[in-house]
Amino acid sequence: MDYHKLKNIPCSQRLRKVLKMLTAAETQFCKTGQWIYTSAELNGLLSLIEDDFSGLPAITQTRENLIRGGQDVRSAVNATRHLLLAEIGRTPADWDFLDAEDKLDAGKRTVFKGVWVYLEDVRSPFNIGSIFRIAESFGVEKIFLSPFAADPRHRRAERTAMGCVNAIPWERDDPPWEQTGVFALETGGVPLKKFAFPRNGVMIVGSEELGVSSANLARSDASLGRASIPLFGAKGSLNVSAAFAIVMYAWAKSLTDNRD
């Protein structure tokens, strides 16, 4: 490793180069449990940027952890990587968080048959990706999307979903409404604790701005009704993916409790 060359390039370029090398090292460690650099090489990398962070103890602490070895190395490298992200003005997003689950095995999913979700005009790719990740975690069998919902294949949706777009079946179409019960995630309905979740059915999740459409509210009211989350803040509403997570957990819990 040419430390002299790295030391003599401009500071901003040096920070980006070290960040790239630390990211590659941590990514490899997540996948294999092995570092592509020795502790001495990692320590040498950090020595190159220590002067750029005068007054911050994180780099010195990281170097001490590298010398000690053990489990502290991963946390030390991770802390330094995020310190560098902040220094170059990159606020970390979900896809900056490294773990060993970059590829998911859909065959390992626990799926609740007939548990479907309809995303009605959810516009944000971030929300689409987050909802896919939540749906995969709580056993949703299939997701349906309205014509104006954001594309799950949008790069921001896929990065937020962390592989879940490929792990859960979906299509851009209406669910078979006549074959199952329907309920809406919407304000003004039955509080979550008292809502009677079905063994199978469709949860309608409305757009970030308008919520569930009047037509689908009427469809829900004629079927299973509306599930609402009691709130205690002045805002009176949640981000759509956060609200979906709460209700989806409650639905999955009701299914497992009844099954047991």
What are 144-167's pLDDT values in tens digits? 999 999 999 999 998 888 889 988
Distance (Å, whole) CA 235 – CA 24? 41
- The residue written with tokens 């299509």 in the block is 171
What is the pLDDT at residue 4?
A: 74
- The residue written with tokens 């009677």 in the block is 196
**Burial group, residue 23, by CB count within 10 angstroms (0-12, 13-18, 19+):** middle
Domain spans in the chain, listed from the N-terminal domain onward: 3-92, 106-259
Torsion, Cα of 134, 206, 252, 126 (10° steps): 0
Q: To the nearest whole percent, how much of the chain has pLDDT over 70?
A: 85
Could you tell me if 65 and 76 are in contact, meaning their C-beta atoms sit under 8 angstroms apart? yes
Pairing of the two strands 182-191 and 140-145? unpaired
Instruction: Classify domain 106-259 by CATH architecture.
Output: 3-Layer(aba) Sandwich (3.40)
Tokens, residue 195: 């809502």
Q: To the nearest whole percent, how much of the chain has pLDDT over 90?
A: 48
Tokens, residue 171: 């299509």
- Edge-to-edge order in the sheet of strand 201-205: 170-171, 140-145, 112-119, 201-205, 182-191, 225-228
pLDDT digits (tens, 9 = 90+) for 189-226: 999 999 999 999 999 999 998 999 999 999 999 999 99
The SS3 assignment for 26 reads: helix
Q: Which of 22-31, 79-88, 131-140, 163-172 has the lowest mean pLDDT?
A: 79-88
**CA-based nearest residue to 204, from 251, 152, 257, 236:** 251
Tokens, residue 116: 């479907």
Pairing of the two strands 182-191 and 201-205? parallel
Could you tell me if 161 and 152 are in contact, meaning their C-beta atoms sit under 8 angstroms apart? yes
The segment with the largest mean pLDDT, out of 10-14, 106-110, 135-139, is: 135-139
